[in-house]
Amino acid sequence: MTDKILNTVIIGSGPAGYAAAIYTARANLNPVLVSGPEVGGQLTTTPEIGNWPGAKDNPSGFDLMQTMMEHAKQLGTEMLSDTVVKTSLKGEVKELTLASGKVLKTKSVIIGTGAKARYLGIDSEEQYKGKGVSACATCDGFFFRKKTVAVIGGGSAAFIEALFLTNMCEKVYLVHRREGFRAEKVLIDRFDEQVKLGKAEYVLNATVDTILGDGNSVTGVKLKQKDQFIELPLNGLFVAIGHVPATEPFPELEKDDQGYLKTGFGTETQTSIEGVFAAGDCCDPVYRQAITSAGQGCKAALDVEHFLM
Ligand SMILES: Cc1cc2nc3c(=O)[nH]c(=O)nc-3n(C[C@H](O)[C@H](O)[C@H](O)COP(=O)(O)OP(=O)(O)OC[C@H]3O[C@@H](n4cnc5c(N)ncnc54)[C@H](O)[C@@H]3O)c2cc1C
């Protein structure tokens, strides 16, 4: 493996990585996929996927990703249980150093290393992840129809999540640790309209102390507001305090101010270095869905095919 120059190496085993593997394998490129620290990616942590087209029985994230992995493997993708720790991407032959010490040499690379939602980092949050605590309203909002929820955060993403939830929830609290917001004014205005309608409410100068629950699901949240504690009864809590893209191993590539890889250099998925392509949440601060990541993985694979021709 060390001396051989591969056609393409895919970094990441989320929907972007597996979709890229399926397409490059079917194009006879003999892809090698490095799965990384979280085999199957972010979706494996969620008990139910209700928006993957065709999967109408709402499979668990783990089952869905297992099927994708088997599909990519069956087509001949070589899977490596390893993590890319260092890269040298300039020039015709790119070098990827893995945690095991192995070095892969390849003509092209598809990066699908994803992003991680920032969480609050408290014990009760960990206990209720997937049981009422979520970081994605588009993904999980549907499970809280006609229920009461809170969104934690004060940026545009928090307002977008909160507004989305007002379409289906009984009541949406927006909990923010300060008085002012970093969000776009148009979003704040739209949320204010919901407040006037009684569908939403601000809880300001408040931080989460403990997420309350009965062991199986969230029942509320204890907040510290100035010098006192208050409790809100809730069915769900959405943390919207940002995402961190997993792009540290790629210092040579151009990134935006949050660390997302920049693409669109020549083709839609090409990064700032020729022969290096990116797909999914590592280069997409906006859509962040399994289907959009898989779509970008497909595009990156097609771009690699053209590049190698
Ligand atoms: C709790 C939760 C629920 C969600 N529910 C839904 C839903 O219902 N529907 C939906 O469409 N979306 C949902 N999402 C969003 C969805 O999971 C992501 O948009 C999608 O997984 C992104 O795919 P990706 O392939 O870009 O990256 P990821 O799924 O994040 O995968 C990244 C991969 O890169 C690997 N990796 C990272 N660093 C390295 C490295 N240095 N070397 C090698 N590999 C590396 C990781 O091991 C992982 O395999 C949810 C997200 C979360 C967190």
47 and 142, same domain (yes or no): no
Read off the pTM: 0.84
* Interval between CA 189 and ligand 1 midpoint (Å): 32
Confidence of residue 2 (pLDDT cuts 50, 70, 90): low
- DSSP class per residue in 208-263: EEEEEESSSSEEEEEEEETTEEEEEE-SEEEE-S-EEE--TT-TTS-B-TTSPBP-
Same domain, 143 and 126: yes
User: Does one domain contain both 106 and 252?
Assistant: yes
Are residues 112 and 222 part of one domain? no
Domain boundary among 220, 239, 258: 239
Judge whether 169 counts as a catalytic residue: no
- pLDDT 10s digits, 50-71: 899 999 999 999 999 999 999 9
45: which DSSP letter? G
Kindly name the residue from 139, 282, 283, 298 that is annotated as catalytic.
139
Q: To which H or E segment does residue 98 belong?
A: strand 94-98
Ligand 1 centroid to residue 27 C-alpha, Å? 24
Among the atoms of ligand 1, which is closest to the Cα of residue 42? 29
Catalytic residue among 3, 57, 63, 140: 140
**Is 63 assigned a catalytic role?**
no
Instruction: Give the mean pLDDT of 281-299.
Output: 95
**What confidence tier does 288 reach under pLDDT thresholds 50, 70, 90?**
confident
How far apart CA 175 and CA 210 sit, in angstroms, is 13
Q: What are phi and psi of 298, to 5 degrees?
A: -65, -45
38 lies in the same domain as 182: no
Residue 183 has a pLDDT of: 85
63, 82, 136, 209: the catalytic one is: 136
Cα 36 to ligand 1 centre (Å): 11
- Total residues found in the chain within this entry: 309
Same domain (yes/no): 124, 235: yes
Exposure string over 261-278, b if 16+ CB within 10 A, otherwise e: bebebeeebbbbbbbbbb
In this structure, the answer to whether residues 129 and 229 fall within a common structural domain is yes
Residue closest via CA to ligand 1's atom 20 equals 290
Supply φ then ψ for residue 118, to 5 degrees.
Answer: -80, 130
Ordered alpha helix ranges (H), the chain: 15-26, 61-74, 123-128, 137-140, 156-166, 185-196, 290-308
Of 239, 273, 296, the one marking the end of a domain is 239
The 10s digit of each residue's pLDDT in 169-218 is 999 999 999 999 988 899 999 999 999 999 999 999 999 999 999 999 99
Residues 62 and 155 placed together within one structural domain of the fold: no
Report the alpha-carbon distance of residue 138 to residue 155 in Å, rounded.
17
Res 1 pLDDT > 70: no
Q: Are residues 164 and 110 in the same domain?
A: no
Tell which atom from ligand 1 comes closest to the C-alpha of 37.
47
Percent of the chain residues past pLDDT 70, beyond the cut: 99
The answer to whether 94 touches 179, Cβ cutoff 8 Å, is: no
Residue range of the domain that includes 70 = 5-116+243-308
Q: What is the pLDDT of residue 187?
A: 92
For the chain, how many structural domains are there in total?
2
- The residue written with tokens 């002012």 in the block is 180
Residues 196 and 176 in one domain: yes
* 298 belongs to the catalytic site: no
* Boundary (domain end) residue, out of 239, 274, 291: 239
Same domain for 288 and 203: no
Q: Are 171 and 201 in contact (CB under 8 A)?
A: yes
Mean predicted lDDT score pLDDT of the chain: 95
Contacts of 150 (CB under 8 A, 6+ apart): 172, 173, 174, 175, 203, 221, 232, 234, 236, 237, 238
Give the C-alpha separation, 40 to 63, whole Å.
10
Q: Mark whether 133 and 183 lie in a shared domain.
A: yes
- Here the CATH number for the domain that contains residue 9 is 3.50.50.60
Mean pLDDT, range 30-57, rounded to an integer = 91
- Closest alpha carbon to 114 in 302, 285, 298: 285
For residue 117, name the pLDDT band (cuts at 50, 70, 90): confident
